[in-house]
Chain A
Amino acid sequence: MLPSKRVTGSTVLIYALLILGGIVVFYPFFYMLMNSVKTGPEILHAPTSLPRQITFSGYEGVFGRLNMLWLYRNSLILAVSITLLNTFLSAMAAYAVAKIPFPGKDFLFGFMLATMMIPAVLFLIPTYVMIYRLGWVGKFHALIIPSAVTVYSIFLIRQFMVAVPDEIIEAARLDGANDVQLFLRVMLPLSRPVLATVAILTFIGSWNDFLGPLLYLNRPETWTVQLGLYQFKTSIPGENAQQIWAATTLITLPLILVYFFLQDQFTRAFANVSLK
Chain B
Amino acid sequence: MAETSAQATQTAPRAGRKKGLWQRSRRHAWGYLFVSPWILLYLVFGLYPLLLSFYLTFFTYSFVRPEDYVFVGIGNWIRGLQDPLLWKSLFNIFYNQGIFIVLKNALGLLFAVLLYKATYFGRLFRTIYFMPVVVSIVVLMTIGEFMASPTGPLQTMAVRYGLSGGPVFWKFSPWLPMPVIALINTWKWFGVSMVILLAGLYSIDTQLYEAAAIDGASGWLQFRHITVPQLRPQFFFLLVVDLIFGLQMFTEVFTIGFDVFGGTNNQALTPVLYLYAQAFDRSNVGYASTLGLLLAVIIALLTMLQFKVFPREAR
Interface residues of A (CB under 8 A from B): 10, 14-15, 17-18, 21-22, 24-26, 28-29, 31-32, 35, 44-45, 47-48, 89-90, 92-93, 95-97, 100-103, 105, 108, 112, 115, 117-130, 132, 145-146, 148-149, 151, 154, 170, 173-174, 178-180, 183, 204, 207-208, 210-211, 214-215, 225-226, 229-230, 233-234, 241, 244, 248, 251-252, 255-256, 259-260, 263, 266-267, 270-271, 273-274, 276
Contacts and interface: CB of A to CB of B under 8 A. Distances in A.
A35 B41 CA distance: 45
Contacts of A267: 126, 130, 195
B275 A124 contact: yes
B107 to A, nearest CB: 8
A120 B114 contact: no
A121 B130 contact: no
Contact of A233 (B130, B140, B142): B142
Contact of A119 (B38, B41, B157, B296): B296
Interface in B74-93: none
Contacts of B121: 15, 18
Contact of A126 (B125, B128, B289): B289
Nearest to A229: B138
A120 B195 CA distance: 25
B118 interface: yes
B250 interface: yes
A252 to B, nearest CB: 5
Query: What is the size category of the interface that chain B forms with chain A?
Result: 35 or more
Interface of B: 1, 4, 24, 27-28, 30-32, 34-35, 37-38, 41-42, 45-46, 48-50, 52-53, 56, 61, 63, 110-111, 114-115, 117-118, 121, 125-140, 142-144, 146-147, 151-153, 156-157, 187, 191-192, 195-196, 198-199, 233-234, 237-238, 244, 247-248, 250-251, 254-255, 257, 271-272, 275, 279-280, 285, 288-289, 292-293, 295-296, 299-300, 303
B79 to A, nearest CB: 15
Given A178-B30, A266-B130, A270-B196, 7 more contacts: A21-B129, A97-B35, A119-B247, A125-B285, A128-B279, A259-B131, A270-B130
Contacts of A28: 140, 143-144, 147, 187
B266 to A, nearest CB: 19
Contact of B244 (A21, A119, A255): A119
Contacts of B27: 100-102, 179
A248 B128 contact: no
A-B residue pairs, 7 tightest by C-beta? A102-B31, A96-B34, A126-B49, A208-B136, A126-B52, A100-B31, A122-B296
Given A122-B292, A146-B41, A210-B138, A274 B251 contact: no
A48 B125 contact: no
A47 B147 CA distance: 9
B280 to A, nearest CB: 8
Contacts of B152: 47
A142 to B, nearest CB: 11
Nearest to A23: B128
Given A102-B28, A174-B4, A130 B37 contact: no
Main secondary structure of the interface of A (DSSP, over half): helix
A44 to B, nearest CB: 5
A253 B238 CA distance: 29
A92 B151 CA distance: 53
A18 B114 contact: yes
Given A129-B285, A210-B255, A274-B237, A25 B143 contact: no
A122 B41 contact: no
Nearest to A249: B139
A129 B289 CA distance: 10
A48 B157 contact: yes
A102 B247 CA distance: 38
B41 A170 contact: no
B114 A14 contact: yes
A210 B137 contact: yes
B84 to A, nearest CB: 20
A108 B34 contact: no
Given A21-B129, A248-B142, A130 B275 contact: no
18 contacts: A18-B118, A25-B187, A48-B157, A89-B37, A119-B247, A119-B296, A121-B271, A123-B45, A125-B275, A128-B279, A132-B63, A149-B38, A226-B139, A251-B136, A270-B191, A270-B192, A271-B195, A274-B233
A102 B32 CA distance: 8
Given A18-B114, A93-B37, A121-B272, A103 B49 contact: no
A122 B50 contact: yes
